[in-house]
Structure 1
Amino acid sequence: MKNVTSRRQMLSASACGFGSLALADLMTRQAQAATPSGPLAQPATHHLPRARRVIFLFMHGGPSHVDTFDYKPRLQADDGKDLPYDLPTAAIDAKLKLLGSPWKFKQHGQSGLWCSELMPHTARHLDEMCIIKSLHSRGQSHGQAVSMLNTGSDNLVRPSVGSWLSYGLGTENEDLPSFVALAPSTGHGGPRNYGTAFLPAIHQATAIGSNGKLGDAQVKYLNRGDLPPAEQNRQMDLLQTLNRRHLDRAGQDQQIEGAIEAYELAFRMQQAAPQVLSLDEEPQHILDLYGVGQEPTDNFGRSCLLARRLAEAGVRFIQVSTGNVWDQHSNLKSGHEKNSLKTDQPVAGLIQDLKQRGMLEDTLIVWGGEFGRTPVVQGANGRDHNPQGFTMWMAGGGVKGGTSYGETDEFGYYSQQDRVHMHDLHATILHLMGLDHQRLTYRYAGRDFRLTDVAGRVVTELFA
């Protein structure tokens, strides 16, 4: 178990570092990777890690697995026929008529993995990917399933995956947060999905943009360019002195500790963050690779390119969100095609860019949504939510490329063979990062909590 007391002792012991001399020194340092200290210091891992960082490409809304990576010949052959078994009682609203995919599938690469024509750019990189086709989760509604994907709980406030990784591993660069959420949603739980719950506040994500829109790609309220460095230093010194006095009176108080740590991090970020978040120095061929400056790929392309830059700079967990756009209860074909046109090229560009920089081998990419879609029709031409069985893929970071794991039934409704629960996925991600999901715990309210609750299996079959 992580030693929480030592973190507080460390904060107390480093109080003199909040003084003016230390702050003045921070103002003059260049934005570079440094040996982290304090609550974001890098502790020892439980075992040898295969990955150093995670980029989670969150396809919010639930892309249809039977229209992307889970080819079902029986579904195509029986289009329009009745589903030969009953729907689960938790189903929201769908008919028993099967709906074949409007897209053609074919095999790609040396591995021969299947992918539909909906993802032509991503299909060129299937040999780098491990496609998990047997996921299942809790939560028929978006709010439940999104929470389950991001925190491991479908109904309780719990720390997010990125916060757990930040807590367990710290950061490689003390001038940047260990967890960044690019364009996260304000709905379906909003900040809860990238929050810390009862973990120390320093491990919450720094959010940039919202609801799938990156905006100006700047951290809000970070820039104090209107004040000269000496005045900023004086104000910070006064503020932290008052905070420390308040903490001394209160004793151990996570909220006050979190405020002190957050102000310190924000102060350091003023120089480091603008450089990392700027694309001005990226060559044109890299911008073109991601589709930056072109429509409809510009927004998501900039997010994926920023994810690579943040990963290079030492950020531990980067989440890139599309916004809730994959929820096609009707107009499946037009909706999924629109989303694919926005995301397919940037995702492929990210894989290629990381590979050519030698970063893919220690960067774990995870792609997927909170659930899949039903093989039966909803309305005239849509699909309903399906947490019973769906697909996500992983690439890099020690996973076995060019492989498929698990199966849904012949129509794509239920996870059937080599089933992978969401707790199993989380345990596997932690393991690849050098953490034992059973040992990464935090004591709160008299109980040792962990990301995987009291479940979870490391799916070692996915490893290279």
Structure 2
Amino acid sequence: MMHHRRTFLADMGMGFTGLALGALLHREGVAKEHHWSPPTGQPHFTPKAKSVIWLFMNGGVSQMESFDPKPMLNKYGGKTIAETPFADAQDPEKLALERLVVPDGNGNQRNTLYPLQTGYRKHGESGIEISDWFPHLAKQADKLAVVRSMWTTDSNHGAQTQFHSGRHRNEGDFPTLGAWVHYGLGSLNENLPQFISIGKREYWNKRDGHYLGPSHDAVPLRIDPKNPLNYSRPARAFHPDERAIGENLIGQLNTIRGVEYPDDPALTARIASYELAFRMQQSVPDVVNFAQETAETQELYGINQPHSKQFGMQLLAARRMVERGVRFIQIQHGGGGAGAWDAHRGLKANHSKNAKAVDQPIGGLLADLDRRGLLDETLVVFASEFGRTPGSQSSDGRDHHIFGFSVWMAGGGLKRGVVHGATDEIGFHAVENRHYVTDIHATILKQLGLDSRRLEIPGRKRLDIDHGHPIDEIIA
């Protein structure tokens, strides 16, 4: 019966639409065979948020010089940890300290605390402490829910993938949070992709769908109205009649292939991409065209400043996507190699430069979403794969640090102007309300109205830690 229905669709010349429907019918057959209900595209319960803007800082942002300042580092800077009241931070029972061990110039090793490289102040009515490297974002302090007690397990930059998927790279490839959202929820705008990625992604963090299938990978987008998508424009100009003939032929060939190989996820994804590409050719360039934005708005995002122009354009595009119903916008800052925030040496120069590039755009995004009434239904996330050590490396840097770091979120039904969790007095260990990275995922899914356990598919049961636990203390 299933085969006859697909053949009928092909014979009717329904092209791309017929193939897409055939794939859906096949999925229904798999669901019946496994007594499994695939996602309907509807939330499982009433959502508080519609969209997510995921801002990821590649390389590892220092928690001490951003959203968890530690004045004790100034008081005891230059001393070994053993010479301070925090000597028990070296206790093997509290996890390893080897990444704080650096040469002292005499062939010996010592654990030397490194002073803060910038000042900090309390901001807003909430009094959240934020470093002086983020003055524009600090003005939005009363919109933030800061989680200062994150931890992870990958001490190298594969942690970028771990933060997105919840699994260590040594365990294999697993769907990212954006892919699960794309898999679980229906479209809010049929003319735009529902999952978009902006910015460079390293090879270990290149894909999203994995066992959910390539159709759940993010669509990469450039902020260029003339060429925003790969292969979205022909290599040379074609007459409309010629183009229509080509599109019709591709449709017929793909329909035949789809009937012959209904179980091929790559083919299904490719056809879905073609369908969407036709609709996007007009809609996507409009999203990244800022001609209708006022000078005041562009200035708010820092587009008029060379240091913040690129990131500002990306975030302004993100706001325009949210307005048009895009579900999940994933923006990578400083991607490539280890990541721009990786400050093993020269931390002051590194972080001050990177913060200057992102601070005004992020502050502008929060202000702009709020004044347009979009922040309540949009969840903005600021994350990095791990933090950095309280001790020095290469005399003026900090190494990777997985035992305690910070993430903040804003909007989407979360409380405003709150801090949750804590690290110890030197920013080494998360000691209060500790949260593994999937707790961020669980919080986001809850606000979108999704139950991750109801998204599981046959043969792919997830570990309990994969699901995480919503951070209810920051949910309004």
Provide TM-score, normalisation by structure 1. 0.87
Instruction: Pick the structure with greater CA Rg.
Output: 2
Residue in structure 2 matched with residue 26 of structure 1 by the alignment: none
SS of 2:355's partner is helix
Mark the CA change 1:343 to 1:200 in structure 2 (over 3 Å): closer, same or farther. same
Q: 1:172 to 1:21 in 2, by over 3 A?
A: closer
Per-residue displacement from partner, 1:275-316 (whole Å, max 9, x unpaired)? 112112211111111111321111111111111111111111
Separation in 2, partners of 1:169, 1:17: 30
* Counterpart residue number, 2:144: 129
**Counterpart amino acid of 2:293?**
E
Question: Which amino acid is the alignment partner of residue 462 of structure 1?
Answer: I
**Are 2:267 and 1:282 equivalent residues in the alignment?**
no
Residue 442 (structure 1) shift: 2.3
- Partner residue of 2:106? none
Structure 1 residues 160, 154: CA separation in 2 closer, same or farther (over 3 Å shift)?
A: same
Of 319, 323, 332 in structure 2, the residue corresponding to residue 312 of structure 1 is 323
1:76 aligned residue: 74
1:96-111 matched pairs, under 5 angstroms: 96-111=111-126
Match of 2:96 among 82, 89, 108: 89
Task: Give yes or no for the alignment of 1:158 onto 2:170.
Answer: no
- Within 5 Å, which residues of 2 pair with 1:427-438? 427-438=442-453
Q: Which residue of 2 aligns with 1:44?
A: 42
Aligned to 1:359: 374
- Residue number in structure 2 paired with 1:259: 270
Query: How is 1:7-406 mapped onto 2 (pairs within 5 angstroms)?
Result: 19=14, 43-83=41-81, 84=87, 85-86=89-90, 88-89=95-96, 91-92=98-99, 94-95=101-102, 96-143=111-158, 145-155=159-169, 156-187=172-203, 189-192=204-207, 195-209=208-222, 218-224=228-234, 226-323=237-334, 324-406=339-421
Moved more, 245-254 or 44-53: 245-254
Secondary structure of 1:64's partner?
Answer: coil
Asked whether the 8 Å contact 1:42–1:171 carries over to 2, the reply is: no
Runs of 4+ in 1 over 6 A off after TM superposition: 8-14, 20-23, 37-42, 213-217
Distance 1:252 1:177 in 2: 23
Deviation, 1:172, is: 0.6
In structure 2, how many angstroms separate the alpha carbons of the residues matched to 1:13 and 1:406? 58
Cα distance between partner residues in 2 of 1:186 and 1:13: 43
Following superposition, the deviation at residue 89 of structure 1 comes to 3.5
Q: Which amino acid counterpart does residue 277 of structure 2 have in structure 1?
A: A
Q: Name the amino acid aligned to 1:425.
A: I
Cα distance between partner residues in 2 of 1:43 and 1:10: 23
Amino acid in the other structure paired with 1:389: G
Structure 1 counterpart of 2:44, which letter? Answer: H
2:35 alignment partner in structure 1: none
Instruction: Give per-residue Cα distances to partners, 1:359-414, cap 9 Å, x unaligned.
Output: 00000000021000010111111000011110010000011110000001111011
Letter in 1 for 2:147: I
Residue-by-residue CA offset, 1:113-142 (whole Å, 9 max, x unaligned): 111111111000010000000000120000
Contact 2:99–2:389 (CA<8 Å) still a contact in 1? no
Q: Aligned partner of 1:175: which letter?
A: N
Name the aligned partner's letter for residue 364 of structure 1.
L
8 Å Cα contact 2:16/2:251 also seen in 1: no
Q: Superposition RMSD on alpha carbons, in Å?
A: 2.8
Q: Give the TM-score of the pair, scaled to structure 2.
A: 0.85
Could you tell me how far apart the structure 1 residues matched to 2:239 and 2:314 are?
Answer: 31
Output the CA distance in 2 between the equivalents of 1:235 and 1:366. 42
How far, CA to CA, are the matches of 2:352 and 2:332 in structure 1?
17
Separation in structure 2 between the aligned mates of residue 135 and residue 108 of structure 1, nearest angstrom? 22
Moved more, 10-19 or 163-172: 10-19
Instruction: Name the counterpart of 1:33.
Output: none
| Correspondent of 1:423 among 438, 442, 445 | 438
Do the aligned residues in 2 keep the contact of 1:122 with 1:345 (CA within 8 Å)? Answer: yes
SS in 2 for 1:320: strand
Aligned equivalents of 2:376, 2:69: Cα separation in 1:
28
Count of equivalent residues? 435
Q: Give unpaired runs (5+ residues) of structure 2.
A: 19-23, 28-37, 82-86, 103-110
Question: How big is each residue's C-alpha offset from its partner over 1:213-264, in whole Å with a ceiling of 9 and x where there is no partner?
Answer: 9897611210238223333232122112211211222242212211211111
SS at match of 1:198: helix
Aligned to 1:27: none
Farther-moved stretch of structure 1 (82-91 vs 271-280):
82-91
How much does 1:17 deviate?
A: 9.0
Equivalent-residue separation in structure 1 for 2:13 and 2:356 (angstroms): 48
Kindly state the Cα deviation for residue 42 of structure 1 after the two structures are TM-superposed. Answer: 6.9
Q: Percent identity?
A: 35
Q: Distance in 2 between matches of 1:15 and 1:449?
A: 37
